[in-house]
Amino acid sequence: MPSNFAIAVHGGAGTISRALMSPERERAYHQALEQVVQAGFEVLRHGGLALDAVEVAVRLLEDCPLFNAGRGSVFTHEGRHEMDAAIMDGRNRSAGAVAGVRNIQNPISTARRIMEHSDHVLLAWPGAEDFAREQGQAFQPDGYFFEQSRFDQLQEARITNTVQLDHGSQPIKVKKLGTAGAVARDQHGNLAAATSTGGMTNKRYSRIGDSPLIGAGTFADNHTCAISCTGNGEYFIRAVAAYDVACLMEYRGLSLEEACRIVVHDKLAPVGGEGGLIAVDAAGNLALPFNSEGMYRGTQTADSPLVTSIYKE
Amino acid sequence: MPSNFAIAVHGGAGTISRALMSPERERAYHQALEQVVQAGFEVLRHGGLALDAVEVAVRLLEDCPLFNAGRGSVFTHEGRHEMDAAIMDGRNRSAGAVAGVRNIQNPISTARRIMEHSDHVLLAWPGAEDFAREQGQAFQPDGYFFEQSRFDQLQEARITNTVQLDHGSQPIKVKKLGTAGAVARDQHGNLAAATSTGGMTNKRYSRIGDSPLIGAGTFADNHTCAISCTGNGEYFIRAVAAYDVACLMEYRGLSLEEACRIVVHDKLAPVGGEGGLIAVDAAGNLALPFNSEGMYRGTQTADSPLVTSIYKE
C-alpha cells in the first residue's frame, strides 16, 4: 500500500479583495493552481521524489504570469526583475538558493543545481548568473518577464513612493507579499520544500527577502516537516519562521498543525508579520495557515482529491 | 549592584597550527583581541547597550588586518573583497545585514543602519552600497583592503584551484573559515550579536555564507541568547545553527552550555561542520565551544577578568 504522499502549493498570500477580483481572473488562478498541483502530484503518484515534485510544481508557478516568481516577477525600482529562490531536500538537509538573479527562466532549477553541483548553499547576483550559465540553465530576454499590469503597478508605486505588495488593491507601505512555493511528502517518506519569488514591486537596494534563506522562508527535514513561507519577508527572517515550526515539533513534541498555528497566528501576526505558509510532516499531514485575507493555494494527497482555494474557508 | 554584564568576541575558527605560528604573530593576535574586548567591555561597564558594545567590538575587528573582516578581508577569485555582516538586537529581534559589499570600511555599521533606517533586514551588492552611501557610511579605496599575505594566499589558491580557509596552513578544499564577531549582555539585561566576514579566499559566484543570515550565523533574543558563529558557513546555514541554540534553550529548557555543546559537537561536527560559536545568555553566562583546532577569542565579565585564547585549553 503506498504511504501517505501529499503535495501543497501556494502562489502568495496578501490582501486579496473579492470586490476587485473578476470571475475570469479568479477562474484563471484556480486553473493555474490545479495544473501545478496535478503536475507535482503525478511525480509522487508514480513513486518519484518529493524533491522532484516540488521543483516541477515551482517551475510551473514560475512559468505562469499570474504569480510573482519567474516570468511573472514584479518590477524593481529600476524597472528590472531580481528573483530569489531556494530548494531543500529533507533527506539530508542539503539546500541550494539564489538571490537577486536576472533573466534566469527558472530560478528554482538554478537553486537545485547549486545544491547538487557546488559546495555552496546561497549564490547571488552576477556570480549566481555565471554559475547558471556554466550549468546550461535557460535564460530569457527582459521582454519575457514583461507584464503590463506589473509595469503599471511599478508606475503607481513610483509615484506614491511606496513598495507594493503583489496581491494588494492599493500600494501599502512596508507590505511586501507575493511568492510561490511547494512542499511535498513522497511515497518513500521523504520531504522537500521549494520557494521562488520576484520580491516586491518598487524594491530597491538589492533587498533580499526570506524566500532564499534556509530556515526563514524555506526548510525541509525528513524528521520534522517541509515548509514554504509567503508574506512580509522581514518578519519571517527575524522569526526564523520555517525552522521555528520544525523546532516546535522536534523539541516541544507539537503536531504540525499546532506548531504552524503558533508561528503564523501567535508569533507573526501580533508583530505585523502578515502572510502564511504551507507545510507537510513526515506522516503526510498538511497545514496551510495564513493570517492575511487570502492565500492562493492547492493541495492533493493519496487519500484526498485536488482542492484549490484563495480566500479563508 | 550592576547585574551580570559580559562580552565575548571571536576572530575566526580553524586549523591554527602552533608550529606555523611565530611568537610575534601570536602576541599580535592576543593584543588585538584584548583591545577589542576592552573597548566593548567599557561600553557595558558604563551602562551602555549590548548593541553598542558588539558594534564597537566588531568595528575594531574589521579595522585590524589580522582578522578576515573589513580591512583584513580575504581576496575573492577575481581579486576583490566582498564582505558580509549582520547585527541583531535581542530587545525586539530587530536585525540588519549586508552581503557582498565592496569598499565599505565597516560593514557592521552599515548593517546597523539597515536595521535602524530601512524597512529591510538584508541588502546586498551595489544596492547595499547605494544605501550605505546615502547613509553617509565611510568608503575606502581598494588599496585600504590590500594585504600582501592575503594576496599571496589567493595566488596559491588560484594555482591549486581551491578555496582556502583563512586560518589554515594549507589550502584545503571545501573549508572556508575566518570570521569576526561579538556577543554581549548589558547591565539592563539586553543581549546583542554581531558578525562580519570577508568570506573565503578565492570564493566565486558571489557566494553568501552564514554570517549575514539571521538564525544561521547570527542571532539574538533577550529571552534566550545571543550567538555569533564562525566556520564552514554552508553547514551552519543548513543547521540553522544560531537559532537552533536558542530553540534548544527555549523549547527543551537546556542551559546555554548544553545547547551550544549539542549544536557544535553533536550536530555540526559529525557532518563536517567545522568551526565554533560564541554565546551569552540572559543571565550573562558565556559559552565559546568549537570543534576545530583553534578559535581566536576573548571574554570579560562583571566578575571575571579579561582573557584571550587561541587554542584549546
Of A95, A131, A237, the CB nearest to B121: A237
Catalytic residue selected from A76, A110, A179, A218: A179
- Continuous segment of H or E residues that includes residue B181: strand B180-185
Verify whether the Cβ–Cβ distance B234 to A174 is below 8 Å.
Answer: no
Could you give the angle at the alpha carbon of B162 between the alpha carbons of B158 and B168, nearest 5°? 105
- At A274 the pLDDT is 94
Chain Cα centroid distance, residue B122 = 16
- At A3 the pLDDT is 76
In DSSP terms, A89 is beta-bridged to A94, A192
- At A163 the pLDDT is 63
A179 is catalytic: yes
Report residue B214: phi and psi, to 5°. Answer: -65, 130
Instruction: Give, in words, the CATH class of A6-311.
Output: alpha beta
In DSSP terms, A61 is beta-bridged to none
Give the contacts of B224 (CB within 8 A, at least 6 positions apart): B245, B246, B249, B250, B281, B282
CA distance A277 to chain B (A): 18
Which ipTM was obtained for this model? 0.92
- At A78 the pLDDT is 82
Distance CA B67, CA B50 (A): 22
Q: Show pLDDT as tens, one digit a residue, over chain A (313 residues).
A: 457 999 999 999 987 777 777 899 899 999 999 999 999 999 999 999 999 999 999 999 999 999 999 998 888 888 888 999 999 999 999 999 999 999 999 999 999 999 999 999 999 988 999 999 999 999 999 889 988 877 787 777 777 766 655 554 444 433 335 899 999 999 999 999 999 999 887 788 899 999 999 999 999 999 999 999 999 999 999 999 999 999 999 999 999 999 999 999 999 999 999 999 999 999 999 999 999 999 999 999 999 999 999 998 7
Per-residue pLDDT averaged across B4-16, rounded? Answer: 92
Question: pTM above 0.80?
Answer: yes
More confident residue, B257 or A151: B257
Contacts of B174 in chain A (CB under 8 A): 119
Catalytic residue selected from B179, B197, B230, B308: B179
- At A76 the pLDDT is 83
Contacts of A130 in chain B (CB under 8 A): 204-205
Verify whether the Cβ–Cβ distance A238 to B119 is below 8 Å.
Answer: no
- At A43 the pLDDT is 98
Distance CA B30, CA B23 (A): 11
On the question of pLDDT at B34 being above 60, the answer is yes
Amino acid occupying residue A261: R
On the question of pLDDT at B149 being above 50, the answer is yes
Question: Tell me: the pLDDT tens digits for B156-196?
Answer: 777 776 665 555 444 443 333 589 999 999 999 999 999 99
Query: What's the whole-number average pLDDT of chain B?
Result: 91
Report residue B280: phi and psi, to 5°. Answer: -140, 145
Convert A34-88 into a string of H (helix), E (strand) and C (coil): HHHHHHHHHHHHCCCCHHHHHHHHHHHHHHCCCCCCHHHCCCCCCCCCCEEEEEE
In DSSP terms, B6 is beta-bridged to B185, B301
- At A146 the pLDDT is 85
